[in-house]
Amino acid sequence: MAALYRPGLRLNWHGLSPLGWPSCRSIQTLRVLSGDLGQLPTGIRDFVEHSARLCQPEGIHICDGTEAENTATLTLLEQQGLIRKLPKYNNCWLARTDPKDVARVESKTVIVTPSQRDTVPLPPGGARGQLGNWMSPADFQRAVDERFPGCMQGRTMYVLPFSMGPVGSPLSRIGVQLTDSAYVVASMRIMTRLGTPVLQALGDGDFVKCLHSVGQPLTGQGRLRAINPENGFFGVAPGTSATTNPNAMATIQSNTIFTNVAETSDGGVYWEGIDQPLPPGVTVTSWLGKPWKPGDKEPCAHPNSRFCAPARQCPIMDPAWEAPEGVPIDAIIFGGRRPKGKIIMHDPFAMRPFFGYNFGHYLEHWLSMEGRKGAQLPRIFHVNWFRRDEAGHFLWPGFGENARVLDWICRRLEGEDSARETPIGLVPKEGALDLSGLRAIDTTQLFSLPKDFWEQEVRDIRSYLTEQVNQDLPKEVLAELEALERRVHKM
């Protein structure tokens, strides 16, 4: 038996000979995001691989049915704006679908068998039957070939092992649903027994094969993707060492241009904070061409001395960094020096000198992405590595320890509830940052929000935007500024 539904694409079949699957791309190029494809029973693994070659998803997620997985799925749907929580009830959600896609379409629900009479009775005299719709295997194959190739591009293929009836009951039947809809995943978890226990009960037994897709490839239009326009790294030398940035030090060992650093008599380079003792007998010439020794008043390297090195030499460079289609962006991180620091430049993206057109229109372009159908926009984070205490000491150790903040960001992207709300945004909850092995970090002061500073800050932001952008300021930016002003006023 088989069924094909539109809108959307759904395919169920059981007891049929294998379909002729087009060889769209090798399964080896797919990422398995969760689960182990190699541990699946042979029949399920073959089904997944054949379907992946046909539908070309970006990655595969083998559902385990756990509560953690369900929470992550619901969080993803909420972030995409597909569902919203109903606070009056416990863990209840509201979903609204396209008006054209509110129920199954009977005219598109078919049963596929070699003989029509195996499926529906034949009314006399050519009358239209009302007891079901039949499709021949050949017509069904043509429908699959027309609709499914490449239909999951840019999305995840979820593998849902499910049981219709109690798991292990001789009366129950097991199926495997393949879908690129997280909404289907959340719904199937409620409607069926779903997850790893089903696989364990199935073993190498028979199962019903189900294939579904929303049917609109999102390659390039749904995820923000980006390339690195530069082919190398351009970094400040002073303070860079094997302790603070070992990957940078490994990168600059060859094919590198150094500017305004000191030179050692054995043919090397030197700067403040390089954290390497000078070998016996080795002398240093400063960036000014003068003899220099440790302890001299003048620095050996200019404070803004640089190195320029090929990015390909970085030992942790992502293998996809030169992919022509770009890499998907899950988060954008902005930096700043608040509340006390150098002069704050209020232009977003720190791109003031490089705008090629009206700044207000530039902002409108970014904001327009939110209205695009199916858009999955990156989350925005703001960091400040340079906050100091009253004695002038940095509150955060910085450099390699910044990975602890990136860890928290990644966990937030995966749906972890580890943030608390403040008037200026979300900050880590107490204990959410991994601070193991660090000296005592005063998180209360680190995440403090001095009201007097923020009151002045919002005044400065308003002054900057109204004076510099004026009538071209997008209404969304103005509305966010006004909301920030109200929240700061209530601090």
Q: Are residues 267 and 167 in the same domain?
A: no
Going by their DSSP bridges, the two strands 232-236 and 306-310 should be labelled as antiparallel
Residue 485 lies in a domain: no
Helix (H/G/I), strand (E/B), else coil: 93: strand
How many other β-carbons are positioned within 10 Å of the β-carbon of residue 356? 6
With beta carbons less than 8 A apart as the criterion, state whether 182 and 78 touch: no
- Looking at the fold, whether 39 and 153 belong to one and the same domain comes out as yes
Would you write out the chain's pLDDT as a tens digit for each of its 491 residues? 222 222 334 444 333 333 333 333 344 456 888 888 888 999 999 999 999 999 989 899 999 999 999 999 998 888 888 888 888 888 889 888 777 776 677 777 888 888 888 888 877 877 777 777 888 999 988 888 888 888 888 889 999 999 998 988 888 899 999 999 999 999 999 999 999 999 999 888 889 999 999 887 655 476 788 888 888 998 999 999 998 889 999 999 999 999 999 999 999 999 999 998 999 999 999 999 999 999 999 999 999 999 999 999 999 988 888 888 788 888 999 887 666 666 777 776 666 776 778 888 888 888 888 877 667 789 999 998 888 888 888 899 887 788 999 999 999 998 899 999 999 999 999 999 999 999 889 999 999 999 998 999 999 999 989 998 999 999 999 999 999 999 999 98
Q: Is residue 244 part of a domain?
A: yes
Short-list 188, 178, 7, 11, CA closest to 98: 7
| Helical packing angle, 475-489 and 451-468, nearest 10° | 160
Report the 10 Å Cβ neighbour count for 98. Answer: 8
In a domain, 207, yes or no: yes
Q: Which domain holds residue 81?
A: 2-213
Report how far residue 283's alpha carbon sits from residue 312's, in angstroms, rounded to the nearest whole number: 32
Residues 190 and 268 in one domain: no
Boundary residue ending a domain (302, 322, 342)? 322
Given a contact cutoff of 8 angstroms between Cβ atoms, the answer to whether 434 and 407 are in contact is yes
- The answer to the question of residue 395 being in a domain is no
Domain-located, residue 77: yes
Does residue 29 sit in the same domain as residue 91? yes
Those residues with Cβ within 8 angstroms of residue 225's Cβ, 6 or more apart along the chain or in another chain: 325, 326, 327, 328, 329
Same domain, 75 and 38: yes
pLDDT given for residue 95 in this prediction:
86
- Tell whether 201 and 291 lie within a shared domain: no
Contacts of 69 (CB under 8 A, 6+ apart): 34, 63
CATH number where 124 lies: 3.40.449.10
Closest listed residue to residue 97, CA positions, set 76, 79, 77? 77
The set of residues, in sequence order, having a beta carbon less than 8 Å from that of 410 and lying 6+ positions away, is none
Q: Is residue 278 part of a domain?
A: yes
Tens-digit pLDDT profile for residues 5-59: 223 344 443 333 333 333 333 444 568 888 888 889 999 999 999 999 999 898 9
Looking up tokens 């007097």 gives: 452
**Per the structure, how many domains does the chain have?**
2
Does 162 lie in the same domain as 127?
Answer: yes
Instruction: Specify whether 246 is located in the same domain as 102.
Output: no
Tell me the sheet residues that pair with 176.
161, 209
Q: How far are the Cα atoms of 172, 176, 459 from residue 199, in angstroms, in the given order? A: 13, 9, 60
Is residue 329 a part of any domain in this protein? no
Of 294, 322, 350, at which residue does a domain stop? 322
d(CA 60, CA 49): 10
Whether residue 175 contacts residue 164, with contact meaning beta carbons closer than 8 Å, is answered with: yes
**CB of 218 within 8 A of CB of 156?**
no
Residue type, 480: E
Verify that 107 and 208 share a domain, yes or no. Answer: yes
Q: Which is nearest to 93 in space by CA: 79, 76, 74?
A: 74
Q: How deeply is 264 buried, as exposed, middle or buried, from its count of CB atoms within 10 A (0-12, 13-18, 19+)?
A: middle
Do residues 307 and 182 both lie within one domain?
Answer: no
Question: Which are the contacts of 491, defined by CB distance < 8 A and separation ≥ 6?
Answer: 423, 449, 451, 454
Residues 102 and 139 in one domain: yes
> In this structure, is residue 469 part of a structural domain?
no
Sign of CA dihedral 471, 476, 477, 483: positive
CA distance 110 to 119: 9
pLDDT tens, 377-436? Answer: 899 999 988 888 888 888 998 877 889 999 999 999 988 999 999 999 999 999 999 999
Looking up tokens 């030197």, which residue turns up? 270
Give, as one character, the DSSP assignment of residue 169. Answer: -
Residues 207 and 236 in one domain: no
Find the helix or strand (DSSP H, E) in which 380 lies: strand 379-383
Q: What is the CATH number for 317?
A: 2.170.8.10
State which of 185, 213, 241 marks the end of a domain: 213
